[in-house]
Amino acid sequence: MNTNSQEQKIEELLSRGVAEAIDREHLKERLLSGEKLRVKLGIDPTSPNIHIGRAVLLLKLRDFQELGHQIVFIVGDFTGVIGDTSDKESERPMLSEETIKENLKSYTEQAGKILDISKTEVRYNSEWLAKQSFSEIGKMADAFSLAEFNARENIKKRLDAGKRVSLRELLYPLMQGYDSVAVEADVELGGTDQRFNLLAGRHLQPLYGQKPQDILMTDLILGTDGRKMSSSWGNTINLTDTPNDMFGKVMSIPDELIVSYLVHCTRAPMEEISRIEKELSGGANPRDAKVFLAKALVELYYGPEAALAAEKYFIDTFSKGVVPEEVRPSQAPAGKSLVEFLVAEGLAESKSDARRKIEQGGVSVDGEKLTDPEVEIGDDFSGKVMKVGKKDFVKIVL
């Protein structure tokens, strides 16, 4: 690899989707020197699925890995129980150990969609945090003041509003900071909402005879509905989604998120992204840019063939109205009215919603629209395919 290419990769590493770096010049100097760094990222398994918002950091971790650095991926099986409230407007409840164990079952496998796991140091922070004594916790706690903690924006808002802030929440930054001590991190990655926690590691390391880690923070991306991406809101695109679901979700995002997703969630060339951004500013159809984004995302996790197949599925299903080859069978028994059937199958949220869809001509069976909400779904419907709206299909099995 020539020097210019290496320098270009380092510059993109330090700039693409990066909101802040501490200390950027120091980190850049170390990267250019050829020193092999230990680069840490921790993820708490608060949900069974890793979504692309979290994968922004995994992609950045892979960028370091491809430059030859040692990646340390920490699954927060201990911190996940305690709960981080860095991005929360209210106290986050503790999760049970059983829930955390269930959630983390496939975390390494999911991370392996991005990282080369064979070259990744995978650690679980219960390994060191579960053994901490009050003496050790006191030593770490002495390095921070209550004023520093209270100065955090979301904590200050809660205190000003008279909301409860638990002592447990004060301990979380210490735990994440000690993770950096335990793995002797040179660099830690995190989102901008993690700033205080990331600085905690930098603050604690000198107490244990280590040099303070450098920090790289990435921008946060929004969910498919334009709000913060959150599993509890259901506005996520998960690494475990099928190619067709992943493609379809991308096509539903607000137009203003296209460029952000391209920059943060894919590794499409920045020159190509700049071209797309310019075209969108000039009035180009956002649909074409979304197709490019959707293909890039599916290809990243499933390969080029799956991306092309997902594009064909989307076009056939949503543009041409073709019935997909695989349609789930119905579960509702015979004898229900059309309205009852739609609700029972989850094709409508309520009976009033079902009636609205029928009245608007959005319900058909084998291509024929159904207009009577009370028509009985009996044996004469068995084996036929019902379509509701543009994308929902069910094969009637009675």
Q: Which residue has the higher pLDDT, 356 or 298?
A: 298
**Domain 3-220, CATH:** 3.40.50.620
Q: How far apart are CA 264 and CA 220, in angstroms?
A: 9
Alpha-carbon distance of 263 to 261, in angstroms, equals 5
Question: How far apart, in whole angstroms, are the C-alpha atoms of residue 373 and residue 337?
Answer: 7
Say if residue 252's pLDDT is above 60. yes
Give the pLDDT mean for 188-204: 94
Give 398 or 297, the one with higher predicted confidence. 297
Mean pLDDT score of the chain: 90
Q: In this predicted structure, what is the pLDDT of residue 392?
A: 81
- Contact between 212 and 206 under an 8 Å Cβ cutoff? The reply is yes
- Rounded (5°) CA angle 368-373-379: 65
From 81-90, 209-218, 344-353, the region with the lowest mean pLDDT: 81-90
Q: In one letter, which amino acid is 4?
A: N
CA 196 to chain centre: 21
- At residue 86, the pLDDT reads 62
Domain boundaries, the chain: 3-220, 241-319, 336-395
| Count of CA atoms in the C-beta half-sphere (13 A) of 314 | 24
Least confident of 75-89, 215-229, 287-301: 75-89
Predicted pLDDT at 297: 97
Q: In the chain, how many H helices and how many E strands?
A: 19, 12
pLDDT band at 315 (very low <50, low <70, confident <90, very high): confident
CATH topology agreement for domains 3-220 and 336-395:
no
Other C-beta atoms lying within 10 Å of the C-beta of residue 11: 13
Instruction: Tell me how far apart the alpha carbons of residues 194 and 217 are, in angstroms, rounded to a whole number.
Output: 8
**Res. 1: pLDDT tops 60:** no
The pLDDT of residue 319 is 63
Residue 321 has pLDDT above 70, yes or no: no
More confidently predicted of 262 and 170: 262
Query: CATH classification of 336-395, choosing from 1.10.150.120, 1.10.10.10, 3.40.640.10, 3.10.290.10?
Result: 3.10.290.10
Please, what is the Cα angle at 153 between 148 and 154, to 5 degrees?
110
Tokens of 140: 């770490």
As given in the structure block, the two tokens for residue 150 are 């209270």
Q: Choose among 329, 387, 337: nearest CA to 363.
A: 387
pTM score, whole prediction: 0.79
**DSSP 8-state class, residue 324:** P
Q: Which pair of tokens denotes residue 372?
A: 């009577």
Give whole-number Cα distances, 35 to 23, 119, 318, 337, in Å.
16, 17, 51, 70
Q: Tell me the pLDDT band of 68, cut-offs 50, 70 and 90.
A: very high
User: Cα separation of 136 and 21, whole Å?
Assistant: 29
What band does 4 get if pLDDT is binned at 50, 70 and 90? low
Kindly give, in sequence order, each residue whose CB lies less than 8 Å from that of residue 23, ignoring residues fewer than 6 positions away. 214
CATH topology of domain 241-319: Tyrosyl-Transfer RNA Synthetase (1.10.240)
311 token code pair: 């594009």
Q: Which residue is listed with tokens 């979380």?
A: 172
* Relative orientation angle of helices 167-183 and 195-204, to the nearest 10 degrees: 50
Q: Give the tens place of pLDDT for each residue, 23-36.
A: 999 999 999 999 99
Bond into 23 cis (ω within 30): yes
What's the CA gap between 311 and 356, in Å, rounded? 30
For 386, the token pair is 């019902």
